[in-house]
Structure 1
Amino acid sequence: MAIQSRLEQFQDLRDELQQKALITGLKAASGYRKNYALIQRILQLSYFSFIIASTYRGLNPKPKGKKKQVDKTQTAAAGEALQRSTASGEKGDRDVEKVKEVTQTADAPEVDMSGSSRGKKGRKGKGPRVEVDAKFFEQLKRILRIIIPSYKSKEALLLMGHSVFLVLRTMLSLYVADLDGRIVSALVRAQTKQFLGGILWWMAVAVPATYCNAMIEFLQSKLALSYRTRLTQKVHEAYLSDDTYYQLGNLDDRIRNADQLITVDIQKFSTALAALYSNIAKPILDVSLYNYQLSQNVGAEGLIIINILVQGSAALLRAATPPFGSYAATAQKLEGEFRWAHSRLIENNEEVALYNGQKIEKNSIERSYFSLIKHINRISKIRIVHGMIEEGIIKWLWGSLGLVICSIPVFVKLPGIGGLAADMGSRTEAFVTNRRLLLSSSDAFGRIVSSYKELSEMAGYTARVSSLLDTMQEVKASRFEKKLVSSAGTEENAAVLRGRGKTEESSDIIFEDVPIVSPNGDVLVKKMSFTVKPGQHLLIIGPNGCGKSSLFRILGGLWPVYGGIVKKPKGSDFAYIPQRPYLSLGTLRDQIIYPHTVSEMRARGKTDEDLLKVMSVVQIDRIVEREGGWEVQREWRDALSGGDKQRIAMARLFYHQPRYAILDECTSAVTSEIEQIMYNHATELGITLLSVSHRPSIHKYHQNVLQFDGQGGYTFSKLDTERTEKRQALQEEKELLEQKLASVPVWKERLAGLEEAARSRPASPVAFR
Structure 2
Amino acid sequence: MSNPKEGDEAPYLSYSESHLSDEYHQTLTKWQHVRLAFKAFRLLSSPYFARSDARRLFLLLVTLMLMSSAVRVIFSYISRDYWSALSGRDEEQFYHIVRNFCVALVVLAPLNVLYRYQRERLALQWREWMTERMLKLYATNRVYYTLEADPKDQSKVDNPDQRICEDVRSFTHFSLTFFLTLAISIIDLVAFSVILYTIQPMLFVSIISFATVGSVGVAVIGQQLMRLNVERLQKEADLRFSLVRVRENAESIAFYSGEPMEQQQILNRLDQVVDNKNDIIVTKRNLDFLTTLYNYVTWTLPLLLLAPAYFGGVIELGVMQQAAVAFGHVLEDLSFIVWEFDSLAEFSASIRRLYQFLQAIQKADPDRDEHSPLLGDDMYNEKDGLILPTVAKRGPSVLSTIQLTPSLHAVMPLTIRNLSVSTPDYTRTLVKNLSLSVNDGDHVLICGPSGAGKSSLVRSIAGLWTAGSGFIERTSDVCFLPQKPYCPVASLRNQLLYPHNSENQSDKAFVQSDEQLIAIMKQVNILGIAEQAGNGNVEAGLDAVLDWSNRLSLGEQQRLAFGRVLLHRPRLLILDESTSAMDVQSERQMYDLLREWKVSYISVGHRPTLIEFHDIRLEIRGMGEFSIVRIE
- The verdict on a shared fold, with TM-score over 0.5 as the criterion, is yes
> Do residues 536 (structure 1) and 436 (structure 2) align?
no
Cα distance change of structure 1 residues 520 and 256 upon mapping to structure 2, 3 Å threshold = farther
So what's the TM-score if we normalise by structure 1? 0.68
Residue in 2 that maps onto 1:764: none
Residue in 2 that maps onto 1:447: 336
SS at match of 1:709: strand
Matches within 5 A, 1:431-442: 431-442=320-331
Residue 692 (structure 1) aligned to one of 604, 624, 629: 604
Cα distance change of structure 1 residues 375 and 478 upon mapping to structure 2, 3 Å threshold = farther
Residue in 2 that maps onto 1:374: 275
Cα distance change of structure 1 residues 619 and 171 upon mapping to structure 2, 3 Å threshold = closer
- Within 2, Cα distance between the matches of 1:190 and 1:718? 111
Matches within 5 A, 1:554-593: 554-570=460-476, 573-593=477-497
- Within 1, Cα distance between the matches of 2:327 and 2:554? 75
> Do residues 514 (structure 1) and 419 (structure 2) align?
yes
Deviation at 1:68, TM superposition (A): 8.8
Cα distance change of structure 1 residues 620 and 461 upon mapping to structure 2, 3 Å threshold = closer
Residues 249-258 or 279-288, more deviating: 249-258
**What residue identity is the alignment partner of 2:497?**
I
**What residue identity is the alignment partner of 1:316?**
V
Report if aligned partners of 1:306, 1:401 keep a CA contact under 8 Å in 2: no
SS at match of 1:351: helix
Superposed CA offset, 1:715-744 (max 9, x none): 12222x3xxxxxxxxxxxxxxxxxxxxxxx
- Within 2, Cα distance between the matches of 1:717 and 1:275? 69
> Do residues 309 (structure 1) and 309 (structure 2) align?
no
Report if aligned partners of 2:84, 2:317 keep a CA contact under 8 Å in 1: yes
Matches within 5 A, 1:609-628: 609-621=515-527, 623-625=529-531, 627=534, 628=537
- Within 1, Cα distance between the matches of 2:159 and 2:561? 30
Deviation at 1:404, TM superposition (A): 7.3
> Do residues 500 (structure 1) and 389 (structure 2) align?
no
Residue in 1 that maps onto 2:174: 272
Matches within 5 A, 1:699-718: 699-718=611-630
- Within 1, Cα distance between the matches of 2:621 and 2:49? 57
SS at match of 2:490: coil
Cα distance change of structure 1 residues 650 and 211 upon mapping to structure 2, 3 Å threshold = same
Residue in 1 that maps onto 2:377: none
Residue 179 (structure 1) aligned to one of 73, 78, 94: 78
**What residue identity is the alignment partner of 2:484?**
R
Residue 135 (structure 1) aligned to one of 36, 58, 80: 36
Superposed CA offset, 1:499-519 (max 9, x none): 334233454433333332343
SS at match of 1:498: coil
Matches within 5 A, 1:199-214: 199-208=98-107, 210-214=109-113
**What residue identity is the alignment partner of 1:564?**
G
**What residue identity is the alignment partner of 1:579?**
Q
Cα distance change of structure 1 residues 677 and 319 upon mapping to structure 2, 3 Å threshold = closer
Deviation at 1:541, TM superposition (A): 0.7
Residue 651 (structure 1) aligned to one of 548, 558, 563: 563
Residue in 1 that maps onto 2:501: 597
SS at match of 1:563: strand
Cα distance change of structure 1 residues 64 and 715 upon mapping to structure 2, 3 Å threshold = farther
Residue 348 (structure 2) aligned to one of 438, 456, 459: 459
Report if aligned partners of 2:426, 2:467 keep a CA contact under 8 Å in 1: no
Cα distance change of structure 1 residues 193 and 304 upon mapping to structure 2, 3 Å threshold = closer
Cα distance change of structure 1 residues 263 and 715 upon mapping to structure 2, 3 Å threshold = same
Residue 468 (structure 1) aligned to one of 357, 369, 382: 357
- Within 1, Cα distance between the matches of 2:570 and 2:30? 50
- Within 2, Cα distance between the matches of 1:577 and 1:592? 13
> Do residues 631 (structure 1) and 531 (structure 2) align?
no
Residues 236-245 or 518-527, more deviating: 518-527
- Within 2, Cα distance between the matches of 1:436 and 1:69? 46
**What residue identity is the alignment partner of 1:170?**
S
Deviation at 1:385, TM superposition (A): 1.8
Residue in 2 that maps onto 1:282: 184
Percent of residue pairs identical: 22
Residue in 2 that maps onto 1:232: 131
**What residue identity is the alignment partner of 1:228?**
R
Deviation at 1:322, TM superposition (A): 1.9
Cα distance change of structure 1 residues 623 and 324 upon mapping to structure 2, 3 Å threshold = closer
> Do residues 319 (structure 1) and 319 (structure 2) align?
no
- Within 1, Cα distance between the matches of 2:330 and 2:307? 16
Report if aligned partners of 1:403, 1:435 keep a CA contact under 8 Å in 2: yes
Report if aligned partners of 1:139, 1:466 keep a CA contact under 8 Å in 2: yes
Aligned length: 584
- Within 2, Cα distance between the matches of 1:606 and 1:685? 19
Superposed CA offset, 1:560-608 (max 9, x none): 14222223333xx221223332222222221221111225564258433
> Do residues 334 (structure 1) and 235 (structure 2) align?
yes
Deviation at 1:497, TM superposition (A): 9.0
Superposed CA offset, 1:617-668 (max 9, x none): 3344465455431323333234434443322211211111112111122233
**What residue identity is the alignment partner of 1:258?**
P
Superposed CA offset, 1:508-550 (max 9, x none): 4333333323436562515131213222211111111111111
SS at match of 1:538: strand
Residue in 2 that maps onto 1:195: 94
- Within 1, Cα distance between the matches of 2:446 and 2:511? 35
SS at match of 1:325: helix
Residue in 2 that maps onto 1:385: 286
Q: Which runs of 5+ in 1 are unaligned?
A: 1-61, 71-102, 412-419, 481-495, 722-769
Deviation at 1:554, TM superposition (A): 1.0
- Within 2, Cα distance between the matches of 1:365 and 1:605? 44
Residues 651-660 or 261-270, more deviating: 261-270
Residue in 2 that maps onto 1:11: none
- Within 1, Cα distance between the matches of 2:20 and 2:177? 35
- Within 2, Cα distance between the matches of 1:716 and 1:359? 48
Q: Which runs of 5+ in 2 are unaligned?
A: 370-396
> Do residues 220 (structure 1) and 119 (structure 2) align?
yes
> Do residues 256 (structure 1) and 154 (structure 2) align?
no
SS at match of 2:486: coil
Report if aligned partners of 2:518, 2:527 keep a CA contact under 8 Å in 1: yes
- Within 1, Cα distance between the matches of 2:329 and 2:207? 14
Deviation at 1:297, TM superposition (A): 4.2
**What residue identity is the alignment partner of 1:461?**
S
Residue in 2 that maps onto 1:295: 197
- Within 2, Cα distance between the matches of 1:406 and 1:511? 89
- Within 2, Cα distance between the matches of 1:497 and 1:703? 39
Superposed CA offset, 1:90-145 (max 9, x none): xxxxxxxxxxxxx9x8xxxx7x9x9999654549xxx9999861211111112212
Residue 255 (structure 2) aligned to one of 354, 372, 390: 354
So what's the TM-score if we normalise by structure 2? 0.82
SS at match of 1:667: coil
Residue 662 (structure 1) aligned to one of 574, 588, 597: 574
Deviation at 1:285, TM superposition (A): 1.3
Matches within 5 A, 1:55-204: 64-66=7-9, 119-120=23-24, 122=26, 133-153=34-54, 156-204=55-103
> Do residues 550 (structure 1) and 451 (structure 2) align?
no
- Within 1, Cα distance between the matches of 2:21 and 2:208? 45
Deviation at 1:345, TM superposition (A): 2.5
Report if aligned partners of 1:146, 1:231 keep a CA contact under 8 Å in 2: no
Question: Could you say what the CA RMSD is over the residues aligned between the two structures, in angstroms?
Answer: 3.6
Matches within 5 A, 1:738-749: none
Answer with 1 or 2: which has the greater Rg.
1
- Within 2, Cα distance between the matches of 1:232 and 1:69? 24
